[in-house]
Amino acid sequence: MSESSNFKMKIAIIYSTKHGCADKCAHTLANEIETNTALINLEFSTDANLAEFDTIIIGGSIHAGMINKKVKKFIEKNQEKLLTKKLGLFLCCLFEGEKALQQFQDAYPEDIRNKAIAHGLFGGELDFEKMNFFEKAIVKKVANIEQSTSRINYSNIKDFALKILN
């Protein structure tokens, strides 16, 4: 067996979620990648040892136009190290097209976006059981949605995994 075929990529998916969609997408992506992949939820661990990984995927979700604060802080704290890695970035949100692209651009700093080999818009989900009164009111007003809805884009998750593995 050649040296290169022994080589195993070490991948971390580091993410934050409010109601579980980014968590679901992170797990789906890890299954697609089918290799040595660590799932790190920033809710429980913010000090991952990045030196252990050669590929880092960062993911979060949009609420009222903003990405999760924990993702923002993680990138700020680790920006230099992240720029030395193979990088991927994904976002969960319900807007599509230009609005989603704009949210992606606002969520991640330019140098991190430029370094990333995969950008993923994975769609979104609304889980009314997990939303409070105000969140339900906002969603109803802005998106005119009144019940739990799933619009996860599984094909974008598959395409993203292929880019990471290439």
Q: Under the rule (CB under 6 A), what is the footprint of ligand FMN?
A: 17-22, 61-65, 92-95, 103, 124-126, 131, 135, 138-139
**Residue 64 DSSP class:** T
Distance CA 25, CA 111 (A): 24
Q: Which amino acid is at 38?
A: A
Minimum Å distance from CB 88 to ligand FMN? 17
In the chain, the amino acid numbered 74 is: F
Between 22 and 56, whose beta carbon lies closer to ligand FMN? 22
- CA dist 77 and 136 (Å) reads 33
CA distance 63 to 159: 25
The distance of closest approach from Cβ of residue 54 to ligand FMN in the complex, given in angstroms and rounded to an integer, is: 26
Nearer to ligand FMN, 36 or 148 (CB): 148
Work out how close the CB of 6 gets to ligand FMN at its nearest, in angstroms, rounded to a whole number: 36
DSSP H helices, the chain, are 3-6, 21-33, 69-82, 97-107, 110-115, 133-143, 154-165
Nearer to ligand FMN, 36 or 102 (CB): 102
Q: Using the minimum distance from each CB to ligand FMN, give the nearer residue, 40 or 85.
A: 40
Q: What is the nearest approach in angstroms of ligand FMN to the Cβ of residue 150?
A: 9
